[in-house]
Amino acid sequence: MSTTSRRLASLSFFLAGALALVSAEDNAIPFSPGFDIAQVAALAQSLPSESWEFGTAAEALLELHNPELSVFGDSPFPVASGSKSSIQALVYAADKIVIGSTGLSNGNGATGDPASLGVSAVMLGKTNKTFADAAAVQLAYLLDTAPRYSNGAISQRADKPVLWADFMYMAPPFMAFYAADSGNATLLRDTYKQCGLYRDVLQSNGKGLWKHIVGPEAADPGHWSTGNAWAAAGMARVLATIMRAPVAQDVSWCTGAISDLSGWIKEILDAAMGAPLDGGLLRNYIDSSAEPVFGEISGSSLLASVAYRMAVLRPDAFDASYVAWADGIRKEFGTGGHVKSGVVSPAVNPHNWHDPDPDTSGSPEGQAMVVLMYAAWRDCVVAGTCQQAQAKTQTQATKTTEVLTQAVQTSQVPRRKCSANHAARRALQLEQSRRMQYVRRIQH
Return the pLDDT at 351: 87
Look at the pTM and tell me if it is higher than 0.75: yes
Q: What is the dihedral of CA 13, 16, 19, 22, to 10 degrees?
A: 180
Return the pLDDT at 433: 59
Q: Which residues contact 81 (CB under 8 A, 6 or more apart)?
A: 126, 127
How far apart, in Å, do the first and last CA atoms of the chain sit?
41
- Domain membership of residue 226 as a residue range: 3-443
Return the pLDDT at 84: 82
Return the pLDDT at 289: 85
Q: How many other C-beta atoms are found inside a 10 Å radius of the C-beta of residue 150?
A: 7
Q: Which residues contact 206 (CB under 8 A, 6 or more apart)?
A: none
Number of domains the chain is built from: 1
CATH number at residue 399: 1.50.10.10
Q: How many other C-beta atoms are found inside a 10 Å radius of the C-beta of residue 7?
A: 18
What b/e string do you get for 266-278 counting C-beta neighbours within 10 Å, with b at 16 or more? Answer: bbbbebbbebebb
3-state secondary structure of 318: coil
Summarize pLDDT for 254-288 with one digit per residue, the tens. Answer: 999 999 999 999 999 999 999 999 999 999 999 98
- Please identify every stretch of the chain with a pLDDT value under 70, giving residue numbers as ranges: 1-26, 388-417, 419-444
Return the pLDDT at 387: 85
Summarize pLDDT for 6-32 with one digit per residue, the tens. Answer: 333 333 433 444 444 444 444 899 999
In whole angstroms, what separates CA 15 from the centre of its chain? 18
